[in-house]
Each structure stands twice: as C-alpha cells, then as structure tokens.
Amino acid sequence: MADEPRVIQPYLHRLLSCVRAPSVVLAGEDGQIRPGGTQGWLRDDTRLLSLLAVDLDGVEPEPVGHALLAADHAAFTAVARLLGDTGADPTVRVERHRTVHPDGLTEAVRLANDARAAVRTRLRLRLAADLAGTSEVKHGEAGTPVPVSADGGRLTWGSGAARVEADVEPAPDRVEHGPEGVELLWDLEVPAHTDWRVVLRARAAGSPLFAGAAPESPEWPVSVASRSRDLDRVVRRGAGDLEALRLTDPEHPEDTFLAAGSPWFFTLFGRDSLWAARMLLPASTDLAGGTLRILARRQGTRHDRGTAEQPGRILHEVRGRQAVAAGHMLPPLYYGTIDATPLWVVLLRDAWRWGLPENEVRELLPALRAALDWVTGPADDDGDGFLDYIDTEGTGLANQGWKDSGDSIQWPDGRIATAPIALCEAQAYAHEAAVAGAELLTAFGEPGAAELLEWAERMRDRFRGAFWVGEGDAAFPAIALDGAKRPVATPTSNLGHLLGTGLLDERESALVAARLAGHDLDCGYGLRTMSSTAAGFNPLGYHAGSVWPHDTAIAVLGLSRTGAGPAAASLARGLVDAAAAFDHRLPELFAGTDARAGEPVLAYPASCRPQAWSAAAGVALVSAALRLSADLPAGVLRVDPDPAFADWFPMTVDGLRVGGHPLRVTVDADGAATVETSAPVRVEGAVLQRTGE
C-alpha cells in the first residue's frame, strides 16, 4: 500500500513580517507577495491578498536591500538592471514602502531614474485575493483567486464581510486579467534624475471576527541604555512589536490584551496573554487589568466535554472559526489548558502589588474565587492531589501545558509518556496561586485564606514525595507524572518555572538552579527545552531541544529571585547574543545549537515572529538584572541590581511605571542604583530621588 503524502508546512524564517494586529503581511525579502506558500496579507484568519508583485517590462527588479523600519513598516529596494545607463552601476531603482494597518495596508512604489537619459518602461502591478482560511494557508494550500471587479484604479474582491477593496493612485493606463490575477499597467517615461510614484491602498471591508484593533498609542515606551547594545535593541524591538500586537475586547474596547503572535495567533490565548502581561508589569498594569477582565468575562461557567469548559476555568484560545491542525480540531472557544487558571490568579496578585487599583481588583474577586475553586478541585481529575489533564474527546490537545505538542513529554529513552499527565510546573503554578489567592482574600477581608494556605502546604509535601528523582546533588524534579503516577525523569526547561513560586525550599531551589546551569540545558544561546542527554533530543525539535525566549526569561526571573545570579546571567546573556541573528526580534523559538562548540544560531524555520511573550522577554531580563519587585499595598519598591549582570552595567531604564507613576532606574558601573519616581513608596536597595509627575 502506498504511503500517504506528507503534509509539509511552508517555512516562515525567510519571510519579512509587517504587523499591526489583527493584520499581517508576509512577503519575501524582495517585497514580492507570490501565490502559494504562506505569503500574503492575512487578517481575521483569512488571506485577503495572495499576490502583490511589481515588474518592469515583464522582468522583476533585482533586490539589493530591505529593512524592517518598525513592526508595521518595511522598506524594499531593488534595481532594474536592464534599464538606464549601460555601465556596471545600476541607475534605475524600485523602492517600496509598505505600511500595515489594522484593517488594511498601504504600498508606495517609487521608480527612481538616476540615468543620464529618460527611461521608457511598462510597470506592471499584479494583484490577487484567494480568501483562503488560515488553516489552509498554514499548510501551503493555495486557494483559487476570486473574481475581481475593476473600475479604473478601484478594485473589489469578494462580497459581504469577506470583501477586499483597493485603490491605486494614479489610476493605471489599462487593466488586464491574467491567469494569476488582475494586472494594472502603466506606460511610463521617466526623465533623467526624476522619479515616478504609485500608491496602493487596500482595506478589509468586514469587522474583526473576535478582537478589535487597539488605538495606536504606545503603551510601553520602555527604553534601555546599557553597556549591552544588543540588550538595548532587544528591548526596543520588543516594545514596537508589543505595540503592534495589541488588541481590544470588542464589547469593552477600553480593555487591551496582547495577541499571542503573528501570523497564526492574532487572538486571545489564556496562557500566552497572561505570561506576557506578567512580564510587562513594571511597564503597565493597564495591560494586566485588561487581560484579567477579558479572560474573566469568558471564564467557564458550565461543564462541556466538547470545549473542555468547566466552572471557574480560564480559557486556552478564542477563534473566529474552528481551528483544524494535524491531530486535533479545536472549537472556536476552547478551555483545554491546565495552567491558564492558576496563572490568572497569580497575575491578579502581582498586578495588585504593582499598583492595579483596588476597585479593579475587588471587581475580580468573584472570578478569583471561581478560579481558586477550579485549581483546588476539578483541576485534579483523579483525586491524587495533583493538577492533571487528558484529552477525553480525542480531538483536543494531547498536552495542555505550554509545551502542547504531542511529543513534548518524553521519557529519557524517547518514549512518549501516556496520559493523564501531571506537569511539574502546573503544580508550582497551583501552589503559587493558592498562596496568592490567600493573600488577596486576606487583604480584601474575604474568608478562605487559611484553607488555601493549608492546601498549598500539602501540595509542597506531595510534590516533594512524588516528583523528585535522582540522588544527592544530582536530584531534580521530573517533568511530569504519567498516567501510572511514575515520574518522567527527563531533564527539561520546565524546571525553571518552579523557581520563585514557593513550591521549593532553599536547598531544592539550589539543586534546580544547578541542573539548569548544566551545559546540556544551557546551550549558550538560552535554555533548551530538553536536555541534550535525552534520547529524544533534537535541537530543531519544537519542544524537544529548541530554545524558547519566553521560557528562558521565566527561568532567568526564577533564578534571580532565588539567588542564583550567575546561572540567570549566563542564560540571559546567551539569549541576548542569539537575538542579534534575528535582527533583535526574538522569535517564538529557535534551534538549541551549542554555542560553546562554535555552532551558529539557527532559526526554527516555522517559528512565528513577532510573538508576544518573546517580545516581552527583554523587559523580563532587565527586571531580573535589577532584581526589581513591588509591593504597593505595603508601600515598598525594591531595586537591588544583581552583580552577576555587571557586564550590562551601567544601565538606565526609562518608561517604567509603578502604581501609575513614572519610574526611572539608573545603575552605575559599580552596580549602585538610583530610582526616580513620584510614587509614594519606600525604596529598598537603591537611592530614591523624588520627582514630580
């Protein structure tokens, strides 16, 4: 019997991505958008333009440069080698500036003639729309171009909500219909040392399926000036990408959240949006408040096996339509995540500490109670005291932690662990959520704190007895318990998520820190998802050896909180070094190659960029270096620069906020910190300089 054809997902790493949520344009490095593959203008899980290409006399100009000027703005330069002077130097250029908007795009094309004589040429602009769904685009399935209505310089594809309109100025001399789409033609004579320009403006006629576009005003103008120029650029690029990924709740446009990432995840992801908002708390509690409220409005209220909804559970993902991928078929509203609910609780507590107004916290107390009831109840499906998961329907996610691929939970010999799965980090999040919930209930005069603290202490004891493997200084927690309650003893990056949650004591934290510092996990470019000693290790494995920037940043924060500064700094420096290979736009993930062996940074070819929690990682690294924390209810701000990060100092960080007040932190070359703020706080670890608003 013949083997079934293999479905191959087109790669993204050589494409240039221009983003302004919920729109993205994916194009080649020459600026051309060609049919087939994943190129195109996508919005609302639909590809609106599948072809956008320029040529002169039927010949595409030869690319010589491109630049991503901002998250939503790219420039491309090419030369027309068959036009202009006959010498070796190119004298005719095609320059393109592309700007993406939430509901459209603008493409400005300039034909510049630096030749000694006029240039005569025919410029052709080819356009097509296939209106293919994201699932088809992701798998490289080209749709059939839909018919176009052309009236001079005005074009229309589709009808109703799925409609694309475009205008070009000046209007073309003529319009022709080719096999791939519509062709707009201009017969030009461009005098010497002059230019000619045309502008295309395309827009989507429909409204977003789920989320609305956020106003274009920078919410996190964080900037860093340090001894590490690469760090400064990572933070700057990340701030621009985060601005471009903002979306709003359509029913409550005052509430903003971060889309998980481009190009496939312009929507609300519980885990991703929560982690990104948490990393950005030193810059914005408004984002955290919006994210918490948006998720609370969609918190589970009933039992539904098809969507995995349960009362109190925080959702995994919202889509405008059913999401279809290899091995699963997710409904538009899907709750299959083990960790979003405890992470929601912890974000609420942390946002309160950073100054989220008390009235906003109080409004969320009913959702807090429901979430805590889920964490301490139905999240433990079999009554063994641990949060666990299994896909009972067979169409959802087999793994429901952040490592949600089918092979992410492996034994050291490469066998796949069987469900139900109890992840180590899910227990850590649950422990921290119980303690955080108790803190909030006490602060707001609500009952139930004592029971939560007792539950958290029992969780610590159970975890210590069930998860730890190895002996003496080689001991570490397993990634998970499998369906038979056996610890899956593969060293993984999940260990980093345990630090700073309170689940581990001081000695246990030191053992975990030492394990993370091993060169089988710290590859010199960040933290590998799986140890290189495991049989299933693959540096290009999605969760089996790659490096995820957000994962590394979480480990860096945890290591810093627990006093393991050298291990934290090693991971942070490696990640920043790797960022230079991606023009400082940290991707979703990249290969876990060995820097110490001289192996280069390699892209994970299908990685998304920008990704919200990757873009937020730069701020997290700075927070770790400063050992920055806040407890506004107690009136305390702590800034205690970690000497392990001395090669980043001196450092000045602007654009931070605490309790709604501006915050500036300066660290000199010796590691001494000065804090400038008008916030009514007592500063520990640094010199305070009071400022006006």
What are φ and ψ of residue 391, in 5° steps?
-80, 95
| Mean pLDDT along residues 115-124 | 98
| Mean pLDDT along residues 524-542 | 99
- Residues 292, 168: Cα–Cα separation, whole Å: 42
Report percent pLDDT > 70 for the chain: 96
Please check the confidence at residue 2 and state whether its pLDDT lies above 70: no
> Which one of 212-226, 309-323, 497-511 scores highest in mean pLDDT?
497-511
Please check the confidence at residue 4 and state whether its pLDDT lies above 90: no
pLDDT of residue 1: 42
Render pLDDT for 599-639 as a digit per residue (tens, 0 to 9). 999 999 999 999 999 999 999 999 999 999 999 999 999 99
pLDDT of residue 207: 64
Q: Within its chain, how far is the Cα of 106 from the centroid?
A: 25
Kindly indicate whether the domain formed by 212-626 is annotated with CATH number 1.50.10.10: yes
pLDDT of residue 463: 99
Token couple for 62: 């030869």
**Looking up tokens 């007592």, which residue turns up?**
682
**Sign of the alpha-carbon torsion through 150, 155, 161, 162:** positive
**What is the three-state SS of 304-322?**
ECCCCECCCCCCCEECCCC
Band (pLDDT 50/70/90 cuts) for residue 395 is: confident
| Mean pLDDT along residues 559-579 | 98
- Residues 225, 626: Cα–Cα separation, whole Å: 14
Written as one letter, the residue type at 99 is T
**What is the three-state SS of 444-503?**
CCCCCHHHHHHHHHHHHHHHHHHCEECCHHHCEECCEECCCCCEECCCEHHHHHHCCCCC
pLDDT of residue 328: 55
Please check the confidence at residue 260 and state whether its pLDDT lies above 90: yes
Please check the confidence at residue 69 and state whether its pLDDT lies above 80: yes
Helix (H, G, I), strand (E, B) or coil at 353: helix
Residues in contact with 555: Cβ distance below 8 Å, sequence separation at least 6, in sequence order: 493, 495, 496, 497, 499, 516, 527, 568, 571
| Mean pLDDT along residues 256-267 | 95
**Looking up tokens 């068959």, which residue turns up?**
82
pLDDT of residue 321: 58
**Sign of the alpha-carbon torsion through 623, 624, 625, 628:** positive
Q: What is the DSSP string of 360-383?
A: HHHHTHHHHHHHHHHHTTTTSTTS
At the topology level, CATH places domain 16-204 in Beta-galactosidase; Chain A, domain 5 (2.70.98)
Q: Within its chain, how far is the Cα of 374 from the centroid?
A: 27
Q: Within its chain, how far is the Cα of 561 from the centroid?
A: 23
> Where do the domains of the chain lie?
16-204, 212-626, 632-690
Q: How many CB atoms lie within 10 A of CB 670?
A: 10
| Mean pLDDT along residues 264-286 | 97
pLDDT of residue 212: 77
Contact 213, 114 (CB under 8 A): no
- Residues 505, 45: Cα–Cα separation, whole Å: 46
Please check the confidence at residue 293 and state whether its pLDDT lies above 60: yes
**Burial letters 449-471, b for 16+ CB under 10 A, else e:** beebbebbeebbeebeebbbbee
Categorise residue 45: left if φ over 0, alpha if ψ from -120 to 50, beta otherwise: left
Average pLDDT, the chain: 95
Render pLDDT for 640-678 as a digit per residue (tens, 0 to 9). 999 999 999 999 999 999 999 999 999 999 999 999 999
pLDDT of residue 218: 58
**Burial letters 575-614, b for 16+ CB under 10 A, else e:** bbbbbeebebbbbbbbbbbbbeeeeebbbbebbbbbbbbb
pLDDT of residue 513: 99
- pTM of structure: 0.96
pLDDT of residue 181: 93
Bridge partners of residue 389, in order along the sequence: 421
pLDDT of residue 142: 73
Report percent pLDDT > 90 for the chain: 88
> Who wins on pLDDT, 173 or 393?
173
Render pLDDT for 42-52 as a digit per residue (tens, 0 to 9). 998 899 999 99
- Residues 588, 446: Cα–Cα separation, whole Å: 40
| Mean pLDDT along residues 452-480 | 98
**What is the three-state SS of 39-90?**
CEEEECCEEEECEEEEEECCECCEEEEEEEEECCEEEEEEECCCCCCCCCCC
